[in-house]
Amino acid sequence: MSARTEEEQAVAETIELADAASVSASVAEPAQRDARDEHAEQGMRGVQTLSMAKAINAGLREALRADEKVILMGEDIGPLGGVFRVTEGLSAELGERRVLDTPLAESGIVGTAIGLAMRGYRPVIEIQFDGFIFPGFDQITTQLARLTVRHDGAISMPVVIRVPYGGHIGSIEHHQESPEAYFAHTPGLRVVSPSSPHDAYWMIQEAIASNDPVLFFEPKSRYWPKGPVDQDHSGVPLHASRVIRQGTDVTVVGHGAMISTLLQAADIAAEEGMSLEVVDLRSLSPIDYGPLLDSVQRTGRLVVAQEAYGFVSVGSEIAATVAERAFYSLEAPVLRVSGFDTPFPPAALETEYLPSPDRVLEAVDRALGY
Amino acid sequence: MSLYRPHKKGTTPSGYRGTVVARERDFTAPTVQLLNPAGVLRPTPEAEPYLPLVEALPDTTLEQFYRDMAISRRIDIAGANLQRQGQLALWVPSHGQEAAQVGSARAARAQDHIFPSYREHIVGMIRGLDPVNILSLLRGATLGGWNPAENGNFHLYTLVLASQTLHATGYAMGIQFDGSVGTGDPETDAAVLVYYGDGSTSQGDANEALVFASSYQTPQVFFIQNNQWAISVPVSRQSRSPLSLRGSGFGMPGVRIDGNDVLVSYAVTRQSLEEARSGAGPSLIEAVTYRMGAHTTADDPTKYRTDAEVAYWAERDPITRYRTWLEGRGASPAFFDEVDAEAADVAADLRRRALSLTAPTREKIFAHVYSEPHPLMAEELAWLDAYESGFEGGAA
Ligand SMILES: Cc1ncc(C[n+]2csc(CCOP(=O)(O)OP(=O)(O)O)c2C)c(N)n1
Ligand SMILES: [Mg+2]
């Protein structure tokens, strides 16, 4: 896996959490970073450098310790710690009643999680790989997503489904998929995706605290690069999007692993004298359009990047909505950079398939050409 | 025994060692029955152990079984009529399945949880559900209709076949994790009873539910109503062996009962639920019964089944046989008259109230889709309100 280079780690570290200033006022909690020293004296935990896998692990541990109704369910998540080791050590610490190695059946996992939620539990499911969520698709879309409305709000469905997703890891078929759109398309579900260890640490805890079902898409190519995690302050709420790099010429937006691609594109663009503003979506359902529309109103140009197929995708939805709401600000049509509308190819071809910084810049050039 | 017959040289294609002698493929299971179709209490050998559970029942309970079944049948008629008169989108009949449903439902305790399919109206009523809520669902006024916590732990109907088997199993896992099993306290030890049909046994979820239940040893009873048909497809297409055998394949006891015998339905379910509450684990019951009516009011059963078959099952009617037995024990004609009058009243009252059900207002489209505020719900409701108000007070 030579892909996980120092360069990538450096990129991860540029995803600073310190830029709370760029957060849209409509959704953000006030930043209180100046109080950090005080908190440290009061036994707060401060900033640690963690990989995303370790950050999620730490977030899960917090949630498990804080509420005994939180339980983890999945395949190989117990003594093994999951195939990506995200749950490493949790069953040893909390016991096999809190970290369930379930039978090998995704519909069974989701369906029984629903029953457990009816009983007052807060199950957190790990789907082993993106491509294997589909046996559970029926229970997620026809049951989990609808049981609250079918009960007229008398019950909630606080179930989190963690999905390691996306390419860049050179793996075999069904191990590099980006199925977010299926779930974002389904009323009753919430869909989020962190791009940094810091966000992952906080967002997993916020997802667990949510009383609605949350699909939590973890960009598995970002599991290993390390970054700062401020364990005292979350920054922005679960469903907030935010500007993570300011710029003036073109806005580029994405989520998950695409963020590192967009930041690399922004660096290259800067060398060429172009200024890109990078927006991290963070939440795919609902979408927090505030920061994005603000940005587009300033730049007049938008490129949406995603690993998923472009046809009928989250990127398509963003393009349509921005066209509706920022029509008079746009200097160019909203352009999409996506995976192609084919099955994810054999890994030998993935670098051609996945949006790269160069493909993003090609779209940026086209946007500037109008 | 050799699996292969020797073959005469040169008579089989090369590679074949002989003519295959197939192994036995006939699977059978005895049908446990207490009350035979003639209304005589004559337990089959396998039913003997269950007899004391029935002998312990007071007359009032035995009479209640009859009352429940009579009410169920009357409501069936009322529901079908309402549908024909355009008051319901659909009615789902349970004529013929009354004994399976009443016996099993009466075996549950107040703290137990019931996960129905969509045909168990009398089960809901036994748990305290006002059936007008079911009509509200079938009328298209709600997607659910009731809060299980306020209606005897009778959960919502599920239209995606067998989905509820997994919810039931998850719920039972929760009971297990909470330690509300096997403490010996009959008031708090709880179990889950889940209903599904013969066709639904083919769904993946039904099978995964058995895997999870067995794996976690849930306090749970799977109650299959084998009414012989899944719409137009006979049970033989779903299974070549008795469905009760699905239990042992997954590591739990399975019993095939005469589903038209309310006493055996009660006794076997009672025993199974008690085992579950005691911590002995899950079990499965196949109640062999028959759907006398159409699948729903949208169905035409003359297209796929014979009059002779229907006549065969009519002879095995669950209510007639039970009435014969009660009469033999000395139940008075006045009792039956009184029950018939009560059933007619319940059905008439239900009909009256069904006709006065009001349509929901448009906020209901958006309310409770999420438990927590969601921007699209707020935006879209505001838009719809504004759109509709554009017509209000306009030229009529
Ligand atoms: C997953 C799914 N597939 C198809 C249907 C349509 N459908 C409704 S009822 C039914 C037959 C069910 O048969 P069975 O499980 O035996 O129950 P019964 O209706 O006989 O009580 C079918 C095919 C459905 N509701 N759900
Ligand atoms: Mg059937």
Q: For A34-44, what is each residue's pLDDT tens digit?
A: 444 444 455 67
What is the pLDDT at residue A333?
Answer: 98
Tokens of B109: 């305790």
Exposed/middle/buried for A134, CB within 10 Å: 0-12, 13-18, 19+? Answer: middle
Using the mean position of ligand 2's atoms as its centre, give its distance from the Cα of residue B197 in Å.
Answer: 5
Does residue A286 have a cis bond before it (omega within 30 degrees)? yes
What is the pLDDT at residue B85?
Answer: 95
**Contact status, residue B350 vs residue B66, Cβ threshold 8 Å:** no
pLDDT at B57 over 50: yes
Q: Of the given ranges (A304-308, B338-342, B355-359), which has the lowest mean pLDDT?
A: B355-359
What is the pLDDT at residue A23?
Answer: 38
CA distances A266 to A169, A246, A253, Å, are: 23, 10, 11
Residue among B231, B233, B296 whose CB has most ligand 1 atoms within 8 A, to mutate: B231
* Host H or E run for residue A116: helix A106-118
**How far is residue A324's CA from residue A292's CA, in Å, rounded to a whole number?**
13
Domain residue limits, chain A: 6-230, 242-368
CA distances B42 to A91, A125, B50, B382, Å, are: 54, 51, 12, 67
Q: CB neighbours of B157 closer than 8 A, spacing ≥ 6?
A: B116, B117, B118, B134, B137, B145
Mean pLDDT of B337-354: 97
Q: Of the given ranges (A43-52, B40-49, B258-267, B269-278), which has the lowest mean pLDDT?
A: A43-52
What is the pLDDT at residue B41?
Answer: 97
Tokens of B106: 């009466």
**Contact status, residue A123 vs residue A113, Cβ threshold 8 Å:** yes
CA distances B385 to A97, B362, B365, B377, Å, are: 48, 8, 12, 12
What is the pLDDT at residue B392?
Answer: 74
pLDDT at A55 over 90: yes
Distance between B207 CA and the closest CA of chain A, angstroms: 9
Q: Is B20 in the pocket of ligand 1 (CB under 6 A)?
A: no
Q: Where are the alpha helices (DSSP H) in chain B?
A: 51-55, 59-84, 98-106, 121-126, 132-138, 163-177, 204-216, 235-238, 246-249, 262-278, 307-314, 318-328, 333-355, 363-366, 375-389
Exposed/middle/buried for A240, CB within 10 Å: 0-12, 13-18, 19+? Answer: buried
**Contact status, residue A71 vs residue A96, Cβ threshold 8 Å:** no
Q: What is the ipTM of this complex?
A: 0.95
CA dihedral sign, ordered B24, B26, B32, B36: negative
What is the pLDDT at residue B298?
Answer: 87
Distance between A230 CA and the closest CA of chain B, angstroms: 27
Q: Which of A113, A119, A188 sits opposite B175 (nearest CB)?
A: A119
pLDDT at A31 over 60: no
CA dihedral sign, ordered A291, A295, A297, A302: negative
pLDDT at A209 over 50: yes
Q: What is the CA radius of gyration of chain A?
A: 20
Residues, beta carbon < 5 Å, ion ligand 2:
B 197-198, 227, 230
Per CB-CB distance under 8 Å, the chain B contacts of A185 are none
What is the pLDDT at residue B12?
Answer: 53
**Contact status, residue B276 vs residue B283, Cβ threshold 8 Å:** yes
Q: Which residue of B150, B153, B166, B218 is the best one to mutate when testing the A interface, meaning the one whose CB has the most A CBs within 10 A?
A: B166
pLDDT at B226 over 90: yes
Closest by CA to A59, choosing from A203, A189, A169, A191, is: A203
Q: For B88-111, what is each residue's pLDDT tens digit?
A: 999 999 999 999 999 999 999 999
Catalytic residue among B291, B316, B323, B351: B291
Strands (E), chain A: 47-51, 70-74, 99-101, 122-126, 160-165, 190-192, 214-219, 226-230, 242-245, 250-254, 276-280, 283-285, 302-309, 335-339
Closest by CA to A223, choosing from A158, A343, A129, is: A129
Q: Is B66 in the pocket of ligand 1 (CB under 6 A)?
A: no
Per CB-CB distance under 8 Å, the chain B contacts of A98 are none
pLDDT at A18 over 50: no
Q: Fold match between A6-230 and A242-368?
A: yes
Half-sphere exposure (CA, 13 Å, Cβ side) for B231? 4
Closest ligand by atom to B95 CA: 1
Per CB-CB distance under 8 Å, the chain B contacts of A103 are 208, 211-212, 215
Whether B371 sits inside 8 A of A148 (CB atoms) is: yes
Using the mean position of ligand 2's atoms as its centre, give its distance from the Cα of residue A137 in Å.
Answer: 25
Chain B residue with CA closest to A151: the answer is: B144
Q: For B143-201, what is each residue's pLDDT tens digit?
A: 999 999 999 999 999 999 999 999 999 999 999 999 999 999 999 999 999 999 999 99
**DSSP-assigned letter for residue A155:** S
Distance between A193 CA and the closest CA of chain B, angstroms: 18
Chain A residue with CA closest to B218: the answer is: A112
Mean pLDDT of B264-288: 98
Tokens 């088997």 sit at which residue?
B165
Per CB-CB distance under 8 Å, the chain A contacts of B178 are 119
CA distances B289 to A25, B97, B111, B258, Å, are: 64, 6, 27, 7
Confidence of residue A286 (pLDDT cuts 50, 70, 90): very high
Domain A242-368's class?
alpha beta
B121 is an active site residue: no
Confidence of residue B9 (pLDDT cuts 50, 70, 90): low
Q: Of the given ranges (A42-46, A168-172, B260-264, B320-324), which has the lowest mean pLDDT?
A: A42-46
The pairing of beta strand A276-280 with beta strand A242-245: antiparallel
**How far is residue A50's CA from residue A54's CA, in Å, rounded to a whole number?**
6
Reported residue count of chain B is 396
What is the pLDDT at residue B15?
Answer: 57
Whether B171 sits inside 8 A of A187 (CB atoms) is: no
DSSP-assigned letters across all residues of A213-238:
-EEEEEEGGGSSSEEEEESS---S-T
A210 at B interface, C-beta within 8 A: yes
Q: Is B230 in the pocket of ligand 1 (CB under 6 A)?
A: yes
**Contact status, residue B175 vs residue A118, Cβ threshold 8 Å:** no
The CATH number assigned to the domain with range A6-230 reads 3.40.50.970
Exposed/middle/buried for A172, CB within 10 Å: 0-12, 13-18, 19+? Answer: exposed
pLDDT averaged over every residue in chain A: 91
Q: Which domains does chain B have, with CATH numbers?
A: 31-355 (3.40.50.970), 361-396 (no CATH)
Q: What is the CA radius of gyration of chain B?
A: 24
**Contact status, residue B138 vs residue B132, Cβ threshold 8 Å:** no
Q: CB neighbours of A253 closer than 8 A, spacing ≥ 6?
A: A241, A262, A278, A279, A280, A281, A292, A302, A303, A304, A305, A318
- Widest distance between CA atoms in chain A: 60
- Our measurement of the distance from residue A45's CA atom to the centroid of its chain's CA atoms, rounded to an integer in Å, reads 24
pLDDT at A134 over 80: yes
A175 is an active site residue: yes
Closest by CA to B49, choosing from B260, B241, B201, B267, is: B267
DSSP-assigned letters across all residues of A27-82:
TPPPP-GGGHHHHHHTT---EEEEEHHHHHHHHHHHHHHH-TTEEEEESS-STT--
**DSSP-assigned letter for residue B240:** S
B143 at A interface, C-beta within 8 A: yes
Distance between B320 CA and the closest CA of chain A, angstroms: 38
Q: Where are the alpha helices (DSSP H) in B147-222?
A: 163-177, 204-216
Confidence of residue B297 (pLDDT cuts 50, 70, 90): confident
**How far is residue A91's CA from residue A57's CA, in Å, rounded to a whole number?**
11
Mean pLDDT of A294-304: 98
Q: How many CB pairs under 8 A join A and B?
A: 134
Per CB-CB distance under 8 Å, the chain A contacts of B215 are 102-103
Distance between A367 CA and the closest CA of chain B, angstroms: 29
Closest ligand by atom to B201 CA: 1
Confidence of residue A3 (pLDDT cuts 50, 70, 90): very low
What is the pLDDT at residue A13?
Answer: 42
Q: For A63-93, what is each residue's pLDDT tens digit?
A: 999 999 999 999 999 999 999 999 999 999 9
Catalytic residue among B304, B352, B362, B374: B304
CA dihedral sign, ordered B224, B227, B233, B239: positive
Tokens of A176: 């590099």
**How far is residue A142's CA from residue B343's CA, in Å, rounded to a whole number?**
36
**How far is residue A276's CA from residue A74's CA, in Å, rounded to a whole number?**
40
Catalytic residue among A168, A174, A175, A255: A175
Whether A119 sits inside 8 A of B170 (CB atoms) is: yes
Per CB-CB distance under 8 Å, the chain A contacts of B111 are none
**How far is residue B45's CA from residue B53's CA, in Å, rounded to a whole number?**
15
Residue A183, phi then psi, degrees to nearest 5: -85, -35
Tokens of A139: 């229970």
Whether B212 sits inside 8 A of A146 (CB atoms) is: no
Q: Of the given ranges (A35-49, A350-364, B323-337), which has the lowest mean pLDDT?
A: A35-49
Half-sphere exposure (CA, 13 Å, Cβ side) for B313? 19
Residue among B92, B119, B164, B200 whose CB has most ligand 1 atoms within 8 A, to mutate: B200
Reported residue count of chain A is 370
Confidence of residue B17 (pLDDT cuts 50, 70, 90): low
pLDDT at B19 over 50: yes
Buried b / exposed e across A251-277, counting CB within 10 Å, b at 16+? bbbbbbbbbbbbbbbbebbeeeebebb
Nearest ligand 1 atom to the CA of A138 is 1
What is the pLDDT at residue A6?
Answer: 47
Chain B residue with CA closest to A154: the answer is: B147
pLDDT averaged over every residue in chain B: 94
**Contact status, residue B19 vs residue B5, Cβ threshold 8 Å:** yes
Confidence of residue A45 (pLDDT cuts 50, 70, 90): confident
Rounded to two decimals, the pTM is 0.93
pLDDT at A312 over 60: yes
Mean pLDDT of A211-217: 98
Q: Which of B149, B160, B166 sits opposite A112 (nearest CB)?
A: B166
What is the pLDDT at residue A44?
Answer: 73
What is the pLDDT at residue B8?
Answer: 56
What is the pLDDT at residue A9?
Answer: 43
Tokens of A209: 């605290």
At B161, the amino acid letter reads L
A113 at B interface, C-beta within 8 A: yes
**Contact status, residue B339 vs residue B66, Cβ threshold 8 Å:** yes
Exposed/middle/buried for B264, CB within 10 Å: 0-12, 13-18, 19+? Answer: buried
**How far is residue B272's CA from residue B219's CA, in Å, rounded to a whole number?**
9
